[in-house]
Amino acid sequence: MNRLRTAVILNFAKMSREAIAMNEALLGRDFDEARFRAHLIRVMAAESECTEVWRAARDVSELLGGVGSLPEPGYGQAILRLADRLRMPS
């Protein structure tokens, strides 16, 4: 396996771990932790030029709202779109 492919796989694994942590935070109603994890995914996606993942994470962040607030309707659907974008490219 070449180095670039290995780097892509490792990056998707890191973003996927953050998405799992984000979802666990949401299940525990820790929305601020979920916002933090969504932000980390956005940063990793931007650094890796994963535009579709970045857009999906941005949508999640926007729907989760600001610190201390409740998420807006539709955030669950946005999380499903993010999960779909985090599938490994072939």
Report the distance separating Cα 80 and Cα 2, nearest Å.
30
Q: Is residue 41 part of a domain?
A: yes
Q: Domain tally for the chain?
A: 1
* Tens digits of residue pLDDT in 28-64: 999 999 999 999 999 999 998 899 999 999 999 999 9
Domain enclosing residue 67, as ranges: 3-85
- Quote the pLDDT of residue 1: 60
**Which residues contact residue 17 at a Cβ distance below 8 angstroms, ignoring those fewer than 6 apart?**
none
Q: Is residue 30 part of a domain?
A: yes
Give the count of alpha carbons within 13 A of 87, CB side only.
5
pTM: predicted TM-score of the whole model, two decimal places: 0.89
Q: Is residue 40 part of a domain?
A: yes
* End-to-end CA gap in the chain: 13
Q: Is residue 90 part of a domain?
A: no
Secondary structure letter of residue 72 according to DSSP? P
